[in-house]
């Protein structure tokens, strides 16, 4: 170590961003993978639910003649994205916030947008893994196949449309305590998935739930996925607008809650 003269003109240099971002994403992925409850909840449950509720119906065809297997795979894929968003952003952020880790990061030179970007990238990577595993399982156990192009397009649409779910997770993370955040994450991911027609087709749900479904973000996300599977993109615009609106609303609430924490010095 050398002797410094700290009062000399402060260097304006900042740490280079790419290695820092890579380090943050890696740390985030390690955190996700090393937490067995998270891995089971977000990788295991969608596969288990698919096996229980989806698998028996994969060889049927829908009334419109489409392949039910692909349709069901999209449903449970959407559910897995919802649970990744709820757990990695809802429960995890609440824990980091209350434990003081976020406070330590605030005092560090780490810019807040980079922290957020790393979390989003890691969640998208993890979601891609979750979708891949689910697809692999559906293929091996139920013989569900996709033309490569369709499969890729469906996956990309689902990942992009997942952004408002991430924003919702952030809202929970910044508003709820760690204990209530994980309960909320559980309840939301199951109830909202059910209400969006992910577990049981919408037309088999009670009338009031059918009426409620179009107000849920995961309903629109699933619609985009189902459209991608059936190769039609005509109705997509409406769903994208809904999802963008949700991103804005949840994003603003999360930003407000973040500032509230900051003002408290937490």
Partner 1 sequence: MNGTAIELRGVGKTFGRVQALHDLNLTIRAGELTALLGPNGAGKTTAIGLMLGLLQPTAGTVRVLGGDPREARTRTQVGAMPQESALPGALTVREAVTLFARMYPAPLPVTEALALADLLPLAGRRAGALSGGQARRLAFALAVVGNPAVLYLDEPTTGMDAGSRQAFWAAAERMKAAGRTILLTTHYLEEAERTADRVIVMNAGHLLADGTPESLRARVATSRVRFTSDLVLAELRHLPGVEAAGVDERGHAALTTRTPEALVAALVQSGTPFRELEVTRASLEDAFLSLTAQASPAAVSA
Q: Which stretch binds partner 1 (CB under 8 A): 19-27, 78-86, 163-171, 218-226?
A: 19-27
Count CB atoms within 10 A of the CB of residue 98. Answer: 16
Our finding on whether 56 is near partner 1 (CB under 8 A) is no
- Of 63, 64, 65, 107, the residue at the interface with partner 1 (CB under 8 A) is 107
* Cβ contact 223:239 at 8 Å: yes
Site size toward partner 1, by CB under 8 A? 36
Could you give the residue ranges of the DSSP H alpha helices within the chain?
17-34, 36-39, 45-49, 68-85, 92-99, 101-107, 112-142, 148-160, 163-175, 178-195, 207-212, 217-229, 236-264
- Of 44, 45, 51, 103, the residue at the interface with partner 1 (CB under 8 A) is 103
**DSSP letters for 142-161:** H-----HHHHHHHHHHHHHT
Helix axes 112-142, 163-175, angle to 10 degrees: 120
* Cβ contact 184:85 at 8 Å: no
- Of 39, 44, 57, 106, the residue at the interface with partner 1 (CB under 8 A) is 106
Structural tokens at position 115: 């922290």
Minimum distance from residue 36 beta carbon to partner 1 (Å): 11
Our finding on whether 57 is near partner 1 (CB under 8 A) is no
Q: Which stretch binds partner 1 (CB under 8 A): 1-9, 64-72, 75-83, 224-232?
A: 1-9
Q: Which stretch binds partner 1 (CB under 8 A): 29-37, 70-78, 181-189, 243-251?
A: 29-37
Our finding on whether 24 is near partner 1 (CB under 8 A) is yes
Of 124, 113, 100, 109, the residue nearest 28 (C-alpha): 124
Residues 170-189 binding partner 1 (CB under 8 A) are: none
Q: Which stretch binds partner 1 (CB under 8 A): 8-16, 143-151, 176-184, 218-226?
A: 8-16
- Of 34, 140, 206, 234, the residue at the interface with partner 1 (CB under 8 A) is 34
Q: Which stretch binds partner 1 (CB under 8 A): 102-110, 172-180, 183-191, 219-227?
A: 102-110
Which residue, 100 or 235, has its beta carbon nearer to partner 1? 100
Burial bucket for residue 145 (CB in 10 Å: 0-12, 13-18, 19+): middle
Q: Provide the binding-site residues for partner 1, judged by CB under 8 A.
A: 1-7, 10-15, 19-20, 23-24, 27, 30-31, 34-35, 99-104, 106-111, 263, 265
């Amino acid at each position: 170590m050398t002797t410094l003269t700290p009062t000399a003109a402060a260097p304006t240099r900042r740490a280079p961003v790419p290695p820092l971002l890579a380090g943050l994403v890696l740390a985030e992925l390690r955190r996700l993978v090393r937490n067995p409850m998270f891995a089971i909840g977000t990788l295991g449950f969608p596969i288990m639910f698919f096996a229980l509720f989806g698998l028996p119906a994969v060889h049927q065809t829908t009334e419109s003649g489409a392949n039910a297997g692909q349709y069901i795979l999209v449903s449970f894929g959407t559910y897995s994205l919802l649970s990744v968003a709820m757990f990695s952003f809802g429960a995890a952020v609440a824990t980091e916030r209350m434990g003081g880790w976020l406070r330590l990061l605030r005092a560090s030179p780490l810019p807040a947008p980079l922290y957020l970007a790393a979390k989003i990238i890691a969640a998208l990577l993890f979601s891609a893994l979750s979708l891949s595993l689910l697809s692999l399982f559906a293929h091996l156990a139920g013989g569900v196949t996709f033309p490569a192009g369709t499969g890729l397009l469906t996956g990309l649409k689902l990942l992009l449309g997942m952004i408002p779910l991430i924003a919702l997770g952030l809202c929970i993370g910044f508003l709820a305590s760690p204990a209530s955040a994980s309960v909320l994450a559980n309840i939301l991911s199951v109830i909202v998935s059910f209400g969006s027609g992910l577990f049981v087709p919408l037309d088999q749900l009670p009338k009031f739930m059918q009426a409620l479904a179009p107000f849920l973000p995961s309903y629109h996300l699933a619609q985009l996925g189902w459209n991608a599977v059936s190769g039609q993109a005509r109705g997509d615009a409406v769903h994208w607008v809904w999802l963008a609106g949700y991103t804005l609303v949840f994003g603003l609430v999360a930003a407000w809650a973040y500032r509230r924490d900051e003002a408290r010095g937490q």
